[in-house]
Structure 1
């Protein structure tokens, strides 16, 4: 996984306000409406990376979700956001920080 490349890709969202990102993720994120019941893989034991890949496969707002989570949770991230596991996002976070200022970084800045 090229974390530096992922951080660079998120640059296109750097000046989008967090409120706008939150609205987009809530409206268009597959996890917000596609899995109202138990997902098809609910009885399988999956690693966090496998779960992230399955939950976020085909989601049109993965980057927006990832950008929002990095802003709001930073290194304290948990769960599945932006198709990455919590460990992967914690590893990405310092690379993301080095990419520069954002519209706002949230309480962890």
Structure 2
């Protein structure tokens, strides 16, 4: 992804600026496909043959109605310390997005 792409994503998330964390959490856990569409008991263990993070993110989040809310929540709560797949992005992309998102919110990247 490019800096321009991260800027576009961060701008798209601006609409969630005033929504409290607890509201975002409720929406993501209620409507997020990853919270109810997968039987965690039956999920295979990850192995060395697993798909790359971008591919995994695309598969897990395909069609999810709360991708942006999920991404916003992760940026707020995990920031640069993010892990896993949130908001259809792997952690490497979210780490690159975080300082762009933070500057839009009037903060400085740490």
**TM-score in same-fold range (> 0.5):** yes
- TM range, smaller chain: 0.7 to 0.9
What aligned pairs does 1:45-84 form with structure 2 within 5 A after superposition? 45-84=50-89
1:31 equivalent among 14, 29, 34: 34
- Aligned residue in 2 for 1:7: 10
Matched, 1:16 2:19: yes
TM-score, normalised via structure 1 length? 0.85
Compare relative contact order (CA 8 Å, sep 6+) and give the higher one, 1 or 2.
Answer: 1
Q: CA deviation at 1:100?
A: 1.4
Q: Report the counterpart of residue 101 of structure 2 in structure 1.
A: 96
Task: Give the alignment's Cα RMSD to 1 decimal.
Answer: 2.0
Could you give the per-residue CA deviations for residues 14-65 of structure 1, whole angstroms, max 9, x where no partner exists? 11000000000000000000011338xx886200111001000000000000
The 2-side partners of 1:100 and 1:76 are apart by 18
Please give the alpha-carbon distance, in whole angstroms, between the structure 1 residues aligned to 2:20 and 2:80.
20
Q: Output the TM-score relative to the length of structure 2.
A: 0.85
Could you tell me which runs of 5 or more consecutive residues in structure 1 were left unpaired when the two chains were aligned: 102-108
